[in-house]
Structure 1
């Protein structure tokens, strides 16, 4: 039983249904790995052994009684942005360091209903604002491939936990690349669904028109299993769309790569700062897809230069509005001995929010202020529509669009990138959120330092099945998704 962490989700489900091992044994295996190895990776913020064993025992009873779902008894980790009843939910911030949610997010509720076992909550950039997971109040998480490197962000804890085999799969959220970029940095598959496909209820909001939850795992097949659980309409989320949910597992071979038209935006491959190794690995993966029968079509995405400035006006503006609820009055961090209400507000927020969160609140408040609202925020929303139209025009001629997920591989921890450098690192992922499109990262090789490189495929609305299917077939013909960091090979 020492190698349970090497099994895929399908193999774990088969093993549980055939009673080769119990959910309790599987859960104990992962908890032992966390106890032994996470002091190096620092992916978990909160580990919940008591709840995990209780859920595992309930899963074993359901398996024995024949009442199990496809995933009953399999453990997972939740990004610490999902509200979890009775478990601390911090969003990586000091201001929520004492917050215990009275309810579960819909995604958490659905995973519980499917019989999945919660191992704990994993680290993230504060309020999901960042690309390195270094802005977390509890400290930085390490990349399992190189412990002196970042795992990406903001879902860095989710990516690191899966890459180190400290969870079979994990939930993440993606506001501007926060599933795809850490999946790229950690050699994983990560899907950002169409906006409205997965409920946002109970996700601590960063930018409400951009946030979307999705799965992070080793393979497209593993992601499809989790998507089958979390996708679907939710009446508690006004932006959740009433649309029939695909069976993502059944559709894994539903898209033929033969004849698939893959758009190659020439602007994306001429970006200043695109690492030569990243470009080479992405081009090799596209050649492989071409060998499998796909056709590569050069396209124009003329709005590329507008992605970063548009996103960094809209997202901070929404953050400024969303984060105004943290006032030290009702819940969260409160400063000591405030002189009056204004002092309470000022000091609670100054003490509770980190520098990157404060920076984005200030940018957003400025963009929304009288005299600047029309010049900045309204104009950014108009440009956002042009970015969406740019993609829709491209999809008239191609089925999916290919790009790197990030211009580089994982940065060194403590590299102290300037805010501008960090923001420019999101060049390939931001537009997908602005347009509300689905996109997926697939591991496609390594750079000269043996750090993972990711390919991003962007689909038209509601094409999650297609994206998972393409990556699944690519993964049947390659083995990049099976590669493991040295730390993941260690037995607990």
Structure 2
């Protein structure tokens, strides 16, 4: 087949399969071949599942040939972050602790993906237990950024984002606890969405910080992210935090945003506390350029105040490790996962737990467990965790006030473009914590956020972040698709069309 199927968007692939131009088996094989040819360098995947993917593709082809009514995106392949529990398929969360764990049940999002007929190509790499911003903190090695393999793809969903950017998968599932979908999307020139908390089930997602975690879609276009989001969303009685709302028509919102004049009268709010001085010059320039395109298209740009934002980062880095330390207490060498016994001395429950956790957890996970356990300890709970929850309430109030003045809030997704390897290291663990200032508020407040490409700075992608009120995810897709169209028209081509596709020559010199 002369056409490179991996270069098509998910929407284009779905249209082509329905038109009989190619089959799901053709599409799935093309992406599996792409993974085989490139993943030794990129490292997007922990596990590749060709048998599972091709079996699903063959079933979709059979049902389509028989004239069955299928999901519009049936047959379009997808990758899953290795935090999504999959029965019969190894699920590691990027950790030695779960290196050989094969779950007996499925996450709800995986159940929905299977029911819709999307072939699952494999499980993508991630920072261990989603703790990190670079995908360097994985027990299975780092993932590299397809735009420049000497740089990181962001994290913790770096493998998912790179699989989409490197044309290994048209769609990818990630999770976002403090920006872990949006920041990798910014670094890799893809579109990543953090949905409203509770609108996508967390059942079967290996937990890090339960009040912050949210499953989100990644794709190369706003429309593709919308399609995957719509497929995964909806109430789940097995998730006690699941919203009972109906699922909006996100693809209709994308179509509305693509119409001329869709930004007319839309109020885009810039946040005073996210000062332009906090961003690299190239990031600031790309963001301002995209914002000016929106202004010329009829949007009104207003400035809003969020005084509590100066405390949000501190609050997050108390709430998140506190919840993580509680969630990770289950990994004790007793029930499942890794079990390590002491080489000397008595073998007791206490020594097995201690030895297992020392061997199974990496440095960053240990650091956050210690921080969280301290914050929750007697005598410090109110001073730290309790105070952080009060700040969380202030952030929610400030965001509610800001949305009275603006339809969406906008900012650069991250203060820099993709960083070289080694910035996030054990000597300076705070180096990248400060880069989450723009993404963390959405998780603290439970509101939806999106990162989409704004352009390039020194040849690397820059992310443009949109935030909307809770339950207004469709608003992100309407405004996001309009801005995507403006940026694409100004550049003359989609940003993702410029990503390098041949990494063989770089592999010898790339290191991490």
TM interval, shorter chain, is over 0.9
1:487 to 501, 507, 510: 501
Between 1:18-27 and 1:470-479, the stretch displaced more is: 470-479
Whole-Å Cα distance in 2 between the matches of residues 9 and 43 of structure 1?
Answer: 19
1:461 to 465, 470, 473: 470
- Deviations along 1:335-361, one digit per CA (max 9) or x if unpaired, are 035621111000100100000000000
Judged with a 3 Å threshold, the aligned counterparts in structure 2 of structure 1 residues 123 and 383 are, in CA distance, closer, same or farther, namely same
What's the offset of the Cα at 1:252?
A: 1.5
> Contact conserved, 1:254 with 1:466, CA < 8 A, in 2?
no
1:48-87 alignment to 2 at 5 Å?
Answer: 48-67=49-68, 68-87=70-89
Whole-Å Cα distance in 2 between the matches of residues 444 and 202 of structure 1?
Answer: 34
2:300 to 266, 280, 295: 295
- Deviations along 1:166-198, one digit per CA (max 9) or x if unpaired, are 000100100000000000000011110000110
What is the DSSP-based 3-state SS (H/G/I as helix, E as strand, rest coil) of the residue aligned with 2:275?
A: helix
2:148 to 146, 149, 155: 146
Whole-Å Cα distance in 1 between the matches of residues 92 and 335 of structure 2?
Answer: 15
How many residues matched? 488
1:423 to 433, 449, 452: 433
1:69-468 alignment to 2 at 5 Å?
Answer: 69-254=71-256, 256-270=262-276, 272=278, 274-336=279-341, 339-417=347-425, 418-448=428-458, 450-468=459-477
What is the DSSP-based 3-state SS (H/G/I as helix, E as strand, rest coil) of the residue aligned with 1:424?
A: helix
What is the aligned partner in structure 1 of residue 16 from structure 2?
Answer: 15
What's the offset of the Cα at 1:488?
A: 6.6
Whole-Å Cα distance in 1 between the matches of residues 475 and 59 of structure 2?
Answer: 35
- Deviations along 1:44-95, one digit per CA (max 9) or x if unpaired, are 1000111111111111112112222101111110000000110100000000
Scaled by the length of structure 2, what TM-score is found? 0.93
RMSD, aligned CA: 1.3
Scaled by the length of structure 1, what TM-score is found? 0.97
- Deviations along 1:254-291, one digit per CA (max 9) or x if unpaired, are 3531100011112212454x211111111111001111
Between 1:15-24 and 1:232-241, the stretch displaced more is: 15-24
What's the offset of the Cα at 1:474?
A: 1.9
Whole-Å Cα distance in 2 between the matches of residues 443 and 416 of structure 1?
Answer: 24
What's the offset of the Cα at 1:416?
A: 4.0
Whole-Å Cα distance in 1 between the matches of residues 209 and 423 of structure 2?
Answer: 26
Judged with a 3 Å threshold, the aligned counterparts in structure 2 of structure 1 residues 476 and 441 are, in CA distance, closer, same or farther, namely same
Alignment gaps of 5+ in structure 2: 489-493, 505-512
What's the offset of the Cα at 1:153?
A: 0.2
> Contact conserved, 2:187 with 2:461, CA < 8 A, in 1?
yes
- Deviations along 1:79-115, one digit per CA (max 9) or x if unpaired, are 0000011010000000000111111100111011001
> Contact conserved, 1:77 with 1:118, CA < 8 A, in 2?
yes
> Contact conserved, 1:190 with 1:217, CA < 8 A, in 2?
yes
Alignment gaps of 5+ in structure 1: none
Whole-Å Cα distance in 2 between the matches of residues 346 and 328 of structure 1?
Answer: 9
- Deviations along 1:347-400, one digit per CA (max 9) or x if unpaired, are 100100000000000000000000000111111101100011010011111100
- Deviations along 1:381-430, one digit per CA (max 9) or x if unpaired, are 01100011010011111100001100011110123452111110111111
What is the DSSP-based 3-state SS (H/G/I as helix, E as strand, rest coil) of the residue aligned with 1:443?
A: strand
Whole-Å Cα distance in 2 between the matches of residues 65 and 321 of structure 1?
Answer: 50
Whole-Å Cα distance in 2 between the matches of residues 489 and 11 of structure 1?
Answer: 25
- Deviations along 1:290-339, one digit per CA (max 9) or x if unpaired, are 11110000111111211111000000000011000001011111103562
> Contact conserved, 1:261 with 1:295, CA < 8 A, in 2?
yes
What's the offset of the Cα at 1:484?
A: 3.1
Between 1:329-338 and 1:361-370, the stretch displaced more is: 329-338
What's the offset of the Cα at 1:477?
A: 2.6
What's the offset of the Cα at 1:466?
A: 1.1
